[in-house]
Structure 1
Amino acid sequence: MVGDMGQDDSLTARIASLEAEVRGLRNAVQTRTVIGQATGLIAAVQGCTPQQGFQLLVRMSQHHNVKLHTIAVKLIDLAAELGPHRAVRAVQVSEEQNGVPTPVDWPGADVVQAARQLVAAYDAATASSGHEPEARRQLTDQVNLAGQLLAERLTEVGWLPGS
């Protein structure tokens, strides 16, 4: 079968297929480079082998439900911003012992907990539109306290300037 300008349609399809394959290979090379950088960063910070670093990166990806390449890019970006040790701790996953997750030993865990408390207090306050004024005042106080706690935690870990 002959297509436009006398070119064979199967040749055109083959060229398009090869161009797509080249784009895929270029993307794979870029992806692997970033994953390799993140793996090396984890291995250096954690004092483990590159294979163990890669497995930790995979667990982080699964734990956060994010593609491996995406978490690698975020880790490299965080390392540039926070430094390598704080970056790895910021995305680190808790280990399980006897099926029970152990707490992650990084300052951000307190920040996350404080943020969750603030969100819960805010949700409770917004859901209380028909409550008595005293109950609404108490919920407002809880939101304010949760906000103060979050600000304190952010300041403690150096993510918010001290007052």
Structure 2
Amino acid sequence: MAVALDVLGGRLRDFSRALRLLRDGTAALADRRPAPCPRPPQRHMTQLPPTTLRLTVADRAHELTVDVEGELCLDTGDRLVDTVSEHLTRRPDVRGVRLNCARLSWIDSAGLSALLMVHRRVGAAGCILRLDDRPALLERMLRQTGTLGHLTALPLQDDDAGGAHAT
């Protein structure tokens, strides 16, 4: 039994010595700052071309037509909303707004949000919004998000308002 304790005691001494060395070595390492790792030169990702949206506005008697060409996305959605809002403010006699989407090349969730905001502003002005010549990508997004009926449904006519469109 004494031999077993002596062996165990020796191991404990070795273990405590190892802990002391580790502690002292770690403290010494903490005082030294590691050399910075050499970094490879930064390579930039390919620069994407800027998103473009061309809006052409045509004023007709009581209708505003906006031809939408290009990408309707986070970078460009506000331009569409601002353009429609500005024209509605200048032309209170407008009864309908048509967005001709035939040349729309891309739309993302922010672009859909812009369309919903345009719909809200057009409705607040007492007008009707129509999305003409919807490309397949727009049609698919409207169907998948459940907004097709909301954006394309005609409002019910209010007989008490003398034929004005209710929102």
| Smaller-chain TM-score bracket | under 0.3
TM-score, reference length from structure 1: 0.23
TM-score, reference length from structure 2: 0.23
Larger relative CO (CA 8 A, sep 6+): 1 or 2?
2
Larger Rg: 2
